[in-house]
Chain A
Amino acid sequence: MSWNQKHLLDIESLSAEEITAVLDTAREFKAVGERAIKKVPALQGKTVVNFFVEPSTRTRVSFELSAKRLSADIINFAADASSFQKGESLKDTARNLEALNADVIIIRHKAPGAPHFLARFLDAHVINAGDGAHEHPTQALLDIFTIREKKTHIEGLNVTILGDILYSRVARSNIWALRKLGANVTLCGPITLVPRVFEEMGCRVTYNLDEALAGADVINLLRIQHERQRKTMFPSIGEYTRHFGLTWARLALTKPDAIIMHPGPINRGVEIESELADGNRSVILEQVTNGIAVRMAALYLVNGSSNDSL
């Protein structure tokens, strides 16, 4: 199996084989999650720290459950309850966490590159749980895992990513992963949120939703990130919904078996019609279930590479 990474920092630096190794491993962990006893002793005695310097509930909970199902001990360390407010630097805080003999540090931070920074001086394995608008590797891996489960393959699929691409780490990680595995990626959204520069990553960029949906196998909807927009990037929510909201009528343009994905949380009635989110084409809740399997795979694989590289 081709996995030789000590950390999981981004998708950009992974090979197609490494991405596939995570997906294959996750498939077995998904089976573990479906058993009566959902726990295996693989990471018994390991300490994992959920180090979240930016608010998050679902990713944190998903990692927490993943670590527990692998029998690791996990502690949550949220920034607002910590010494950050007392002026401690990121480096000092991380060193303190490592001094607790943490084996894995899962970090979410608003600064792009914060996980890479920690990985340079910590002995612990570092997993990126989202760094600013840069990457969110486990989200992309769970998205790809879900697509592969539904479509059996990735190569040659038409995947449309819709919405706020500019501020989205989910979009960046997804684009890297999908391109490496040979999917055709179309990006669509307001011109202010979907700059042409993404064409350099091998994507098609369009500002016409009908064009973006035509022949799509997968539609990945991204949330409008109010918190990351420094100024208003489009006139109003109503206008966004009118131009880029996914409706039953528009869904007819896609392939008849196209699936709808969303990393959550959903703004019902904004980027997607409420009934569509609950409909049989939606795999949004399966993404949540798969997230645990993929994060178990990530924790398992980074731990395995440790003594190899020494």
Chain B
Amino acid sequence: MPDKRPVLESLDLTRAWRRVGHEIAEAHPASDRIILVGIQRGGVALSKQLGKTLADIYGKEIHIGSVEPGLHRDDLSNRAMSELLPTELPKDITGQIVILVDDVFYTGRTVRASIDALLGFGRPQCIQLAALIDRGHRELPIRADYIGKNLPTHPEERVEVHTTEEGVPQSVMIQSP
């Protein structure tokens, strides 16, 4: 039986995620050109919650979309093809500030694939990255702009983020091999 233990609790996570919202608002005085794009599948629910925080701060709704990195991965021939989920962008991303949202930031490969997928739709003014958990072990020169919690891990471990349907973070579990 693999050992699976909770490492972070709901209140901590919720506050950290709300803080990320405030950091985004601090960096971008106006919300008009911001599009939050959740990476399928873990980032999608979190992007909705982040959108709520930002809507409260800016006083108006935020554009939210999703992106499927699956077709742009660099390891397609080494793994079974995963289920493809929708890429849905609420408007043209050209000239916009796209903020990618993911639950766990790890090797950077998923983020790389997501960036490639997005660039097929237009040329944003910039793309930033917000992640709830940064577990380290980057394999590409990619960094996050906004981080909820840093979580030191071993590469062998699995990190799972659980959220409610609305994207409120509930718990983070680490599973040892």
A237 contacts chain B at the CB level, 8 A cutoff:
no
A304 contacts chain B at the CB level, 8 A cutoff:
yes
Are A1 and B83 in contact (CB-based, < 8 A)? yes
Instruction: Out of A28, A35, A37, name the residue touching B84 (CB < 8 Å).
Output: A28
Known: A40-B120, A41-B116, A43-B76. A32 touches B81 (CB 8 A): no
Instruction: Out of A28, A40, A308, name the residue touching B80 (CB < 8 Å).
Output: A308
Are A25 and B116 in contact (CB-based, < 8 A)? no
Give the docked Cα–Cα distance between A40 and B73 (Å): 10
Report B-chain residues with C-beta under 8 Å of the C-beta of A24: 83-84
Task: Give the Cβ gap from A169 to chain B, nearest Cβ, in Å.
Answer: 26
Chain B: interface residue count, which band?
20 to 34
Task: Give the Cβ gap from A132 to chain B, nearest Cβ, in Å.
Answer: 30
A303 contacts chain B at the CB level, 8 A cutoff:
yes
Instruction: Out of B70, B78, B80, B85, name the residue touching A305 (CB < 8 Å).
Output: B80
A249 contacts chain B at the CB level, 8 A cutoff:
no
Are B78 and A40 in contact (CB-based, < 8 A)? no
Give the docked Cα–Cα distance between A36 and B76 (Å): 24
Known: A303-B76, A303-B81, A308-B80. A28 touches B121 (CB 8 A): no
Are B76 and A37 in contact (CB-based, < 8 A)? no
Are A306 and B87 in contact (CB-based, < 8 A)? no
Are A31 and B86 in contact (CB-based, < 8 A)? yes
Q: Name the CB-closest residue of A to B116.
A: A41
Which residues in window 67-122 of B have CB below 8 A to A?
68, 70-72, 76-87, 116-117, 120-121
Which residues in window 271-310 of A have CB below 8 A to B?
300-301, 303-308
Task: Give the Cβ gap from B117 to chain A, nearest Cβ, in Å.
Answer: 8
Task: Give the Cβ gap from B37 to chain A, nearest Cβ, in Å.
Answer: 15
User: Digit string of A40-58 for contact with B (CB within 8 Å is 1, else 0)?
Assistant: 1111001000000000000
Interface residues of chain A, those whose CB is within 8 Å of chain B, are 1, 3-4, 21, 24-25, 28-29, 31-32, 35-37, 39-43, 46, 300-301, 303-308
3 tightest Cβ-Cβ pairs between the two chains A and B: A304-B81, A28-B84, A40-B71
Please name 22 pairs of A and B residues whose Cβ atoms are closer than 8 Å in the assembled complex, sorted by A.
Answer: A1-B81, A1-B83, A3-B81, A4-B80, A21-B83, A24-B84, A25-B81, A28-B86, A29-B84, A31-B86, A31-B87, A39-B120, A40-B71, A41-B72, A42-B72, A42-B76, A300-B71, A300-B81, A303-B77, A303-B81, A305-B81, A307-B79
